[in-house]
């Protein structure tokens, strides 16, 4: 058989699945039937230029969801459009906006996208449509990258202003007087990718939108709002919470889709007794190779930056050996520079790029066209994200393929053994809480800065007088003679609050080979830096290896030179946790459950050098970097007197094993990404003076996971016990309590005993049995 022979997608899939090693890994193979287009004629009121523009792009009729959106907006509703990737969602807002401008050139619109990349993308497609309609519409992106000269122009003349919530919060709203033309004439607010506005970020964005609407009211405009969301469990609730107004849901997708094959693969265990399973990379690599060789456009999603780089290296290596199109396979992730990303996106659309290996950076609606195959190396952590990533493949007429390769982790194994979970349960609900006191207070401050509050006003449905009184005590606002609350401080409140809980600072990675003009090759965020770009680390970028020669922590710069070595490096983090304040505590079986604020300090201590293929340890080195502190919320379980009789080493393995199981079940219960929760087990907590397992929110400030775990403690413990009991391994494996520990392989048994006690079961007999 020739290695590189163009073949149809389905034929390629069948050949791939027929391989014996692959066949035994198949746990699910479903075919979603072809769906024809459902269309409706363009509304009669639509401007003739727009109709012509649509015709010139080959659009004679609208999809039903587009027509429905147009009519709903015409009737004065706010709407939320919920349809999959590439279903022509942007027409749902671009058309009404252009129609508004056609009817009244003074009309303006504000587009909000969660990332800068999406802003550029959507602006380009909006301009194309406007140009096709031969309409002269001033549209521009206003974000941190916008040059000063253009800013003034966008402020005064931009009919369509494209920005992100962060920019709106810190640059536009506080300076609203410079934007008065926009606010006076605002007709539409477009909130795209609304499903990304969840958790603390979403709670912030909801308040930013309230501030926006408050200013519109001041300037006398009444904009309508168009939200767009990927498929989530509760689009209406999300949109309504986000904007604080009722919305009409438009979710009957009229876009056609070709037949789609969805395959779930679970790599068979290498050692059943120890429960050792291979990671997802091997099978993912194999699948990707099959499609790339057949000349099918393929996207591979890795779960981490390192995973992406390893996959990319592997694919290029394999393609090189077979003289295949190795340069047509690219990497794509957060650390790449914007220009590099734009080039890759364009290459995907034009077909020049055959394959791309990406982190979830490509999950959002960045336009890369439609691909033949999507391969997920590991479960992305949520059902919604899984469908989004799988949605990257899918042609209008031809068949397409999506393959999920389960990893060795517990959550992955849960999905692999219960594939119906993917197909039958509804996607996660996006939750946000605009009335979160900390968030709300921050925005009351910012809003008071923008405009005085009247007595009896409210923000996000919460009366503000109490909060303002509180702020007045702190000296931020004052009640003036006219009974209004005015900002009365030198501070600039919007700059004190970052909407995204992640650190705003990045470490820039600089290749010094080209001195005196060193080249910036990428960046990593500050929390990731200690484990990625410490001195002597091997940093992977576009599958090239770079040696980190020097890390200037103060300047946030890492200096690297390209190298070619046969190892990679992995850093070890030492994590300590200190509770700061308990929000709530309650007795539980065999102990106590609680949640509250904690300080998690992590310090990268040493790194290991591991050989590329075999992962064997080649040596180690020390990392000298300052400790990073994470102020967040945690849920914890303190063990009661029942455990006083346990030996310290027993407790040690039991706690960390039970902790692992709790962590796994927690992320399934909360439908959060497993990385969103960190775990620390303390045999003797210096604060509680007893054994404690902490599960903490791994983003600063927390997104409310801890409180929900606290409420669902019983379910959580029962689930963890179930997980350990159901696992087929004998002495502990990565899928339950973690790999077999040194101490005699009794880790699993101790952890099980501990969980049984916590679940209120009879631990005594079990104890006797072990003893």
- CA-CA distance, 276 to 732, in Å (whole number)? 10
| Contact status: 76 vs other proteins (CB under 8 A) | no
Comparison of 126 and 710: residue with beta carbon closer to other proteins = 710
Among 424, 490, 555, 742, binds other proteins (CB under 8 A): 490
Yes or no: say if 293 and 324 are a contact pair by the CB < 8 Å rule: yes
Q: Is 135 in the site for other proteins (CB under 8 A)?
A: no
Nearest-approach distance from CB 452 to other proteins, in angstroms: 7
Nearest distance, CB of residue 299 and other proteins, angstroms: 43
Provide, rounded to whole angstroms, the least separation between the CB of residue 584 and other proteins.
5
Q: Cα dist. 421→230, 296, 383, 712, 736 in Å?
A: 19, 29, 9, 20, 19
Residue ranges of alpha helices (H) inside 322-409 are: 338-350, 383-390
Q: Is 174 in the site for other proteins (CB under 8 A)?
A: yes
> Residue 465 and residue 486: Cα distance in Å, rounded?
12
How many Cβ atoms from other residues are within 10 Å of residue 212's Cβ?
Answer: 25
Q: Is 27 exposed, middle or buried (0-12, 13-18, 19+ CB in 10 A)?
A: middle
Quote the CA–CA distance of 162 and 206 in Å, as a whole number.
Answer: 18
Which of 36, 75, 339, 482 lies at the binding interface for other proteins (CB under 8 A)? 482
How near is the Cβ of 468 to other proteins at its closest, in Å?
7
Binding region for other proteins (CB under 8 A) out of 333-341, 421-429, 469-477, 657-665: 469-477
Considering the complex, state which of residue 396 and residue 712 has its C-beta at the smaller distance from other proteins.
712
Q: Which stretch binds other proteins (CB under 8 A): 248-256, 481-489, 562-570, 735-743?
A: 481-489
Which member of 124, 480, 520, 743 binds other proteins (CB under 8 A)? 480
* Plot region of 702 (φ>0 → left; ψ -120 to 50 → alpha; else → beta): left
Q: Does 26 bind other proteins (CB under 8 A)?
A: no
Task: Write the DSSP assignment of 408-445 as a string of letters.
Answer: SSHHHHHHHH-THHHHHSPPPPP---TT-HHHHHHHHH
In 97-230, the DSSP E strands lie at 108-112, 139-141, 160-163, 186-191, 224-229
User: Segment near other proteins (CB under 8 A), from 176-184, 285-293, 381-389, 757-765?
Assistant: 176-184
Which residue number, 61 or 478, has a Cβ lying nearer to other proteins?
Answer: 478
Asked if residue 515 binds other proteins (CB under 8 A), the reply is no
CB of 509 to other proteins, least distance (A): 24
Among 28, 465, 525, 731, binds other proteins (CB under 8 A): 465
Residue 214 CB, nearest approach to other proteins (Å): 12
Q: Does 635 bind other proteins (CB under 8 A)?
A: no
- Binding to other proteins by CB under 8 A, coded x per residue (else -) over 584-623, reads xxxx--------xx--------------------------
Stretch that binds other proteins, among 6-14, 174-182, 612-620, 685-693 (CB under 8 A): 174-182
Q: Tell me if 591 sits within 8 A of 623, measured CB to CB.
A: no
Nearest to 507 by CA among 543, 545, 567, 560: 560
Alpha-carbon distance of 183 to 177, in angstroms, equals 9
Is 106 near other proteins (CB under 8 A)? Answer: no
Closest distance between other proteins and the C-beta of residue 110, in Å? 17
Check residue 177 for interaction with other proteins (CB under 8 A): yes
Measured torsion, CA atoms of residues 115, 117, 119, 121, in degrees rounded to the nearest 10: -150
Query: Which part of the chain contacts other proteins (CB under 8 A), choosing from 412-420, 447-455, 601-609, 684-692?
Result: 447-455
760 is an interface residue for other proteins by CB under 8 A? no
Q: Which helix (H) or strand (E) holds 454?
A: strand 453-454
Site string for other proteins, 236-275 (x = CB under 8 A): ----------------------------------------
Contact 140, 146 (CB under 8 A): yes
Contact region with other proteins (CB under 8 A), list: 124-132, 169-177, 241-249, 744-752: 169-177
| Interatomic CA distance for residues 112 and 186, integer angstroms | 13
Query: Does residue 484 belong to the site contacting other proteins (CB under 8 A)?
Result: yes
Q: How far apart are CA 771 and CA 753, in angstroms?
A: 12
Minimal distance in Å, beta carbon 594 to other proteins? 9
| Interaction residues for other proteins, span 684-723 (CB under 8 A) | none
489 binds other proteins (CB under 8 A): yes
Q: Is the dihedral of CA 173, 178, 180, 182 positive or negative?
A: negative
Interface pick for other proteins out of 96, 267, 307, 493 (rule CB under 8 A): 493
The packing angle between helices 116-132 and 338-350, to 10°, is 50
| Sheet with 139-141, side-by-side order of all strands | 139-141, 160-163, 108-112, 186-191, 224-229, 79-82, 248-250
Min CB(82)–other proteins separation in Å:
35
| Shortest Å distance, C-beta 717 to other proteins | 14
Site for other proteins in 563-582 (CB under 8 A): 581-582
Q: Where are the beta strands (DSSP E) in 193-282?
A: 224-229, 248-250, 260-265
Does position 216 interact with other proteins (CB under 8 A)? The reply is no
Cα separation, 553 vs 526, in Å, equals: 10
Report the alpha-carbon distance of residue 524 to residue 441 in Å, rounded.
31
Does position 178 interact with other proteins (CB under 8 A)? The reply is: yes
* Residue 654 near residue 770, CB atoms below 8 Å: no
In the complex, least distance from residue 198 CB atom to other proteins, rounded to whole angstroms: 22
Here's the x/- map for other proteins, 407-446, by CB under 8 A: it reads as ------------------------------xx--x-----
Q: Tell me how many residues contact other proteins (CB under 8 A).
A: 51
Note whether 440 and 207 are within 8 A (CB).
Answer: yes
Closer residue to other proteins, CB minimum distance, 431 or 595: 595
Least distance in angstroms from the C-beta of 443 to other proteins: 14
DSSP string, 270-306: SBTTTTB---SHHHHHHHHHHHHHTT--EEEE-SSHH
**Residue 469 Cβ vs other proteins, minimum distance, rounded to whole Å:** 6
> Which residues contact other proteins (rule: CB under 8 A)?
174-178, 180, 218-219, 437-438, 441, 448-452, 455, 465-470, 473, 475, 478-493, 516, 581-587, 596-597
């Amino acid at each position: 058989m020739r290695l590189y022979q163009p073949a149809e997608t389905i034929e390629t899939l069948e050949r791939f699945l027929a391989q014996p090693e692959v066949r035994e890994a198949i746990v699910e193979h479903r075919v979603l039937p072809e769906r024809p287009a459902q269309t409706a004629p363009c509304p009669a009121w639509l401007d003739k230029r727009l109709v012509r523009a649509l015709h010139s792009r080959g659009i004679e009729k609208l999809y039903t969801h587009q027509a429905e959106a147009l009519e709903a907006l015409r009737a004065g509703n706010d709407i939320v459009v919920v349809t999959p990737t590439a279903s022509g969602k942007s027409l749902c807002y671009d058309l009404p906006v252009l129609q508004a401008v056609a009817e009244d050139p003074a009309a303006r619109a504000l587009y909000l996208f969660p990332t800068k990349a999406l802003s550029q993308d959507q602006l380009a497609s909006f301009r194309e449509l406007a140009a096709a309609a031969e309409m002269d519409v001033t549209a521009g992106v206003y974000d941190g990258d916008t040059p000063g000269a253009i800013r003034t122009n966008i402020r005064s003349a931009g009919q369509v202003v494209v920005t992100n919530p962060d920019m709106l919060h810190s640059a536009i709203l506080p300076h609203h007087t410079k934007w008065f033309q926009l606010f006076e004439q605002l007709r539409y607010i477009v909130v795209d990718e609304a499903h990304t506005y969840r958790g603390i970020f979403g709670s912030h964005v909801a308040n930013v939108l309230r501030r926006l609407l408050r200013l519109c009211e001041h300037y006398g405009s009444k904009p309508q709002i168009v939200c767009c969301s990927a498929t989530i469990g509760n689009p209406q609730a999300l949109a309504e919470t986000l904007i604080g107004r009722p919305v009409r849901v438009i979710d009957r997708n009229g876009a056609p889709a070709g037949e789609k094959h969805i395959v779930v693969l679970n790599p068979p265990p290498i050692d059943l007794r120890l429960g050792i399973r291979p990671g997802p990379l091997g099978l993912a690599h194999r699948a990707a190779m099959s499609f790339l060789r057949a000349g099918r456009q393929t996207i591979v999603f890795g779960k981490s930056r390192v995973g992406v780089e390893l996959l990319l290296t592997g694919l290029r290596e394999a393609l090189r050996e077979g003289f295949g199109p190795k340069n047509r396979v690219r990497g794509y992730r957060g650390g790449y520079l914007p220009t590099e990303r734009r080039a890759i996106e364009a290459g995907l659309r034009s077909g020049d790029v055959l394959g791309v290996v990406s982190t979830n950076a490509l999950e959002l609606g960045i336009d890369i066209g439609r691909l033949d195959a999507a391969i997920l190396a590991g479960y992305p952590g949520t059902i919604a994200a899984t469908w989004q990533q799988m949605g990257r493949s899918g042609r209008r007429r031809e068949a397409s393929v999506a393959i999920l390769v389960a990893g060795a982790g517990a959550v992955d194994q849960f999905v692999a053994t219960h594939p119906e979970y993917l197909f039958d349960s509804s996607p996660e609900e996006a939750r946000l809480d605009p009335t979160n006191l900390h968030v709300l207070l921050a925005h009351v401050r910012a809003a008071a800065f923008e405009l005085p509050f009247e007595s009896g006003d409210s923000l996000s449905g919460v009366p503000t007088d109490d909060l303002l009184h509180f702020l007045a005590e702190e000296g931020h606002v004052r009640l003036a003679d006219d009974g209004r609350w005015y900002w009365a401080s030198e501070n600039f409140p919007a700059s004190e609050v970052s909407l995204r809980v992640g650190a705003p600072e990045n470490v820039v990675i600089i290749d010094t080979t080209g001195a005196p003009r060193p080249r910036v090759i990428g960046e990593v965020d500050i929390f990731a830096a200690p484990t990625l770009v410490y001195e002597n680390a091997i940093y992977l970028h576009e599958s090239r290896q770079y040696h980190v020669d020097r890390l200037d922590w103060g300047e946030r710069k890492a200096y690297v030179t390209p190298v070619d070595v046969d190892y990679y490096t992995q850093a070890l983090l030492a994590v300590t946790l200190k509770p700061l304040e308990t929000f709530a505590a309650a007795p539980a079986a065999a102990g106590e459950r609680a949640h509250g604020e904690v300080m998690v300090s992590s310090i990268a201590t040493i790194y290991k050098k591991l050989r590329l293929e075999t992962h064997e340890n080649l040596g180690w080195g020390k990392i000298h970097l300052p400790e990073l502190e994470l102020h967040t919320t945690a849920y914890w379980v303190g063990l009661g007197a029942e455990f006083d009789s346990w030996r310290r080493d027993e407790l040690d393995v039991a706690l960390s094993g039970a902790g692992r199981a709790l962590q796994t079940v927690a992320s399934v219960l909360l439908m959060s990404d497993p990385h969103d929760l960190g775990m620390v087990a303390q045999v003797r907590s210096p604060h509680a003076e007893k054994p404690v397992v902490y599960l903490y929110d791994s983003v600063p400030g927390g997104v409310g996971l801890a409180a929900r775990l606290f409420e669902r403690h019983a379910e959580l413990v029962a689930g963890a016990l179930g997980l350990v009991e159901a696992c087929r391994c004998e002495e502990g494996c990565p899928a339950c309590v973690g790999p077999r520990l040194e101490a005699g392989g009794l880790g699993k048994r101790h952890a099980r005993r501990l969980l049984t006690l916590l679940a209120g079961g009879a631990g005594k007999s079990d104890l006797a049995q072990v003893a």
